[in-house]
């Protein structure tokens, strides 16, 4: 078993290992952020309160908001920039196509939702739902382009 793992590791290029390392760091960072947000929401959660609403819209301590803003606004762009520099052309194209799909989801989905909400046909725009729409469109397109 160890020999098989060593052979697989030996076959990977330095850029592929860096790619996987950066994706693992991003995943670990996202997991840590999610865990801290969940713990914060659960810490202030009272029985009968909507836990989902508390996790998504509940108040945050100032220190945590600053740390999260720095992680999202500084650390994630650095990881993304570094990742962009180590991926191959195929992955870069998949990433680009995913980004375009996410942009279309936002630039088409946002105004459609806004217009329908103005006519009271749907609820008001939820920024987190719109963000999730962009991430899903980006991720699905990236996966489809990368693995098809």
Per residue in 42-65, pLDDT tens? 776 667 677 777 777 778 889 988
**Do both 68 and 93 map to the same domain?**
no
**Do both 42 and 81 map to the same domain?**
yes
**Do both 136 and 114 map to the same domain?**
yes
Neighbouring residues of 33: CB distance < 8 A, sequence distance ≥ 6: 68, 71
**Do both 122 and 60 map to the same domain?**
no
Number of domains in the chain: 2
Alpha-carbon torsion, ordered 11, 14, 20, 24, to 10 deg: 130
**Do both 24 and 80 map to the same domain?**
yes
**Do both 77 and 136 map to the same domain?**
no
**Do both 93 and 79 map to the same domain?**
no
User: Which of the residue ranges 7-11, 29-33, 65-69, 108-112 has the most confident prediction, judged by mean pLDDT?
Assistant: 108-112
**Do both 124 and 61 map to the same domain?**
no
**Do both 70 and 101 map to the same domain?**
no
Of the residues 68, 87, 106, which one is the last residue of a structural domain?
87
**Do both 41 and 95 map to the same domain?**
no
Closest CA to 138 of 74, 80, 52: 80
Which structural domain range is residue 56 located in? 1-87
Of the residues 55, 87, 119, which one is the last residue of a structural domain?
87
pLDDT band at 118 (very low <50, low <70, confident <90, very high): very high
* pLDDT at site 15: 78
* pLDDT at site 100: 97
Q: Give the three-state DSSP class for 48.
A: coil
Element (H, E) at 96: helix 89-118
Of the residues 45, 60, 87, which one is the last residue of a structural domain?
87
* pLDDT at site 145: 94
**Do both 109 and 147 map to the same domain?**
yes
Q: What is the pTM of this model?
A: 0.69
**Do both 10 and 70 map to the same domain?**
yes
pLDDT band at 74 (very low <50, low <70, confident <90, very high): very high
């Amino acid at each position: 078993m160890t020999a098989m793992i060593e052979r697989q590791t030996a076959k990977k290029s330095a850029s592929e290992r860096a790619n996987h390392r950066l994706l693992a760091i991003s995943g670990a960072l996202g997991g840590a952020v999610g865990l801290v947000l969940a713990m914060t929401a659960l810490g202030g959660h009272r029985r009968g309160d909507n836990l989902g609403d508390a996790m998504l819209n509940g108040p945050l301590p100032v220190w945590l908001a600053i740390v999260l803003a720095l992680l999202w606004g500084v650390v994630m762009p650095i990881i993304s920039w570094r990742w962009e520099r180590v991926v191959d052309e195929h992955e870069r194209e998949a990433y680009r196509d995913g980004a375009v799909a996410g942009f279309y989801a936002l630039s088409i989905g946002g105004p459609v939702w806004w217009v329908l909400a103005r006519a009271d046909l749907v609820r008001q725009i939820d920024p987190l739902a719109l963000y999730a729409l962009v991430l899903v469109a980006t991720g699905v397109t990236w996966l489809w382009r990368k693995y098809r």
